[in-house]
Amino acid sequence: MTRSRFLLAGSAGLALTLSLAACSGGAGGGGGGDTYPSDTIDVIVPFSAGGPTDTVTRILAEPLGEELGVQVVVDNVEGAGGTVGAGEASQADPDGYTLLLHHIGMSTAPTLYPDLNFDPVADFEPVGLVTEVPMAILSKTGLGPASFEELVEYIEANESTVTLAHAGVGSASHLCATLMQDALGVTLTEVPYDGTGPAMADLLGGQVDLLCDQTTNSASQILSGAVDAYAVTVPERVAVLPDVPTTAEAGLPDVEVSIWHGLYAPAGTPEDVVTVLNEALITALGNDEVKTQFEELGTSPVSAEQAAPSVLSTQLSDQIALWGDLLGKGN
């Protein structure tokens, strides 16, 4: 694989209370009145509870609550690399009462799942980008290597026995793992999980050796010493993890990965409803507490300009084309 830089995107029935200023002329739905919203909004997160996309969603809850005046229930509908939850969201009524918060799976799904039951572009209205998250290459404690260079030597010497966990085909951790193996020229024993949460749990328990995970999910585990971190997959070191080198510094510049997250509504959702949602999202992303919490996780919210629906639309289309070329149609 030639050297490329990748912006990937790249989150149990968790109820979050949000408040939203009423928007006249919006969709009816739910509570049936003339204002939007007038009833509960359901946000589908197509990954397990406790994972990085779920974490991003939780951080946004309180500031969104200052803008939205109804209850929002976050549903973790996991399975098949996020395609189960995304498919469910695509079939929801386009009234603004069912949303989707997803990452890289939206752009890789058409390539990885040829029998996909939804079209990421045609079946959704982009609401806005949320954040871009670095990834970290991790191992269980006690594996042995003291640096990334030593980890590479260990992997090459023990290729047939090293286990590499990921959150399922098409997940951010799977794609990062694929890029890393390709760059090293090795084929490790992959251990797929139904979400990042259980993959991290087994890394913590020592059942698997390696995991490439988003810093939103792994920073606290790294800082506590529960896992060992060897590199972050972005051009510059992450502020909250200053002692962890970049992959380029560690001698693996081909693995440069950040995970973008976006908020979507089903296709056909009225434009004024999308506008209300986008404005609330921008306000939440500009909240000082959100910025602080994201920084603690090794990331930051996108700017108001980057959070525009048109930016997410372009990002999604471009990434679908990129991953179609890289992964190969039908894979």
Q: How confident is the model at residue 7 (pLDDT cuts 50, 70, 90)?
A: very low
Going by C-alpha positions, the residue among 203, 206, 213, 209 that lies closest to residue 161 is: 209
Tell whether 128 and 219 lie within a shared domain. Answer: no
Q: Is the pLDDT of residue 6 over 50?
A: no
Tell whether 62 and 80 lie within a shared domain. Answer: yes
Task: Write down the pLDDT at residue 174.
Answer: 87
Q: Domain containing 79 — which CATH number?
A: 3.40.190.150
Q: Domain containing 173 — which CATH number?
A: 3.40.190.10
Give the dihedral sign, CA 284/223/194/178. positive
Tell whether 253 and 271 lie within a shared domain. Answer: no
Tell whether 87 and 148 lie within a shared domain. Answer: no
| Element at 272 (helix H, strand E) | helix 271-285
- Asked whether residue 286 is domain-assigned, the answer is yes
Look at 36 and 70; give whichever has higher pLDDT. 36
Going by C-alpha positions, the residue among 320, 121, 187 that lies closest to residue 329 is: 320
- pLDDT, tens only, 108-126: 899 988 899 999 999 999 9
Highest averaged pLDDT of the listed ranges 49-53, 97-101, 214-218, 324-328: 97-101
Tell whether 196 and 206 lie within a shared domain. Answer: yes
Among candidate residues 241, 257, 273, the one where a domain is terminated: 257
Tell whether 95 and 172 lie within a shared domain. Answer: no
Among candidate residues 210, 235, 257, the one where a domain is terminated: 257
Tell whether 290 and 322 lie within a shared domain. Answer: yes
Among candidate residues 216, 234, 257, the one where a domain is terminated: 257
Give the dihedral sign, CA 274/279/285/287. negative
Tell whether 126 and 52 lie within a shared domain. Answer: yes
C-alpha to C-alpha distance for 189 and 196, rounded to whole angstroms: 17
Going by C-alpha positions, the residue among 225, 247, 84, 112 that lies closest to residue 174 is: 112
Tell whether 139 and 93 lie within a shared domain. Answer: no
- Asked whether residue 121 is domain-assigned, the answer is yes
Task: Write down the pLDDT at residue 34.
Answer: 59
Going by C-alpha positions, the residue among 103, 85, 23 that lies closest to residue 270 is: 23
Burial of residue 225, with CB atoms counted within 10 A of its CB: 0-12 exposed, 13-18 middle, 19 or more buried = exposed
* Encoded tokens for 286: 């500009």
84-98, 282-296, 300-314 — which is least confidently predicted?
282-296
- Asked whether residue 31 is domain-assigned, the answer is yes
Instruction: Specify the number of domains making up the chain.
Output: 2
Going by C-alpha positions, the residue among 320, 280, 287, 313 that lies closest to residue 301 is: 287
Structural domain boundaries, residue 238: 133-257
CA 72 to chain centre: 20
Tell whether 51 and 34 lie within a shared domain. Answer: yes
Task: Write down the pLDDT at residue 117.
Answer: 93
- Asked whether residue 99 is domain-assigned, the answer is yes
- Asked whether residue 1 is domain-assigned, the answer is no
Tell whether 184 and 196 lie within a shared domain. Answer: yes
Going by C-alpha positions, the residue among 143, 56, 167 that lies closest to residue 101 is: 56
* Encoded tokens for 202: 């087994």
C-alpha to C-alpha distance for 106 and 316, rounded to whole angstroms: 7
- pLDDT, tens only, 266-290: 999 999 999 999 999 999 899 999 8
